[in-house]
Amino acid sequence: MRLLVIEDDPDLNRQLATALSDAGYVVDRAFDGEEGHYLGEIEPYDAVILDIGLPKMDGISVLEAWRRAGRAMPVLMLTARDRWSDKVQGFDAGADDYVAKPFHLEEVLARIRALLRRSRGTRRASSIAVPFASIRARGGSVSRAIRSS
Ligand code: CA
């Protein structure tokens, strides 16, 4: 799984990248909107963490440009706690979820896991693997119930 972190605060960028790398993701980092927009346009990321307040190109514009170009990867936006309008604009621009600053890294990790799960589920929707596994699981519990009665 390959992720992109776009955050202009160097400490926050490093903390996010470190936590995500420790969790087993491959992480690229960008520190302004132009650089982040460029990377998201040319590289196949599984998800992006996108700060809204960025130099050179703000996060909303980055997201709008990606979605206009057909880039559909899940995007988790980082917003300032008191800026509710950022959240509305972000969702309208195509964000999938948000975390308000200041946040706990654990929450970011959990939200990224949820986004990746949902996007994998969408891609696999036509597969029979999941129904088959659940039938087998039910069969197993039935046979255990029969043996124990
Ligand atoms: Ca910022």
Give the domain ranges of the chain.
2-144
The answer to whether 78 and 52 are in contact (CB under 8 A) is yes
CA of 53 to the centre of ligand 1 (A): 4
Determine whether 52 is exposed, middle or buried from the number of CB atoms within 10 Å of its CB (0-12, 13-18, 19+). Answer: buried
pLDDT for position 120: 87
140 has a pLDDT exceeding 60: no
pLDDT tens-digit series, residues 63-87: 999 999 999 999 999 998 888 899 9
CA of 38 from ligand 1 middle (Å) equals 18
Residues of the chain with pLDDT > 90, as a percent, come to 77
- CATH number (3.30.110.60, 3.40.50.2300, 3.40.50.720, 3.40.50.1100) of 2-144 reads 3.40.50.2300
Backbone φ and ψ for 69, nearest 5 degrees, come out as: -85, 5
Tell me how far the alpha carbon of residue 117 lies from the centroid of ligand 1, in angstroms: 27
* Cα-to-centroid distance, 135 and ligand 1 (Å): 48
The residue ranking higher by pLDDT, 15 or 120, is: 15
Q: Say whether pLDDT at 96 is over 70.
A: yes
Contact assessment for residue 84 and residue 41, using Cβ atoms and an 8 Å cutoff: no
Residue 28 in contact with residue 39, Cβ under 8 Å? yes
Predicted confidence (pLDDT) at residue 134 exceeds the cutoff of 70? no
Mean pLDDT estimate for the chain:
87
Task: Give the distance (Å) from ligand 1 centre to CA of residue 101.
Answer: 10
**Mean of pLDDT values over 106-134:** 75
Residues lining ion ligand 1 (Cβ < 5 A) are 8, 51, 53
Centre of ligand 1 to C-alpha 6, Å, is 9
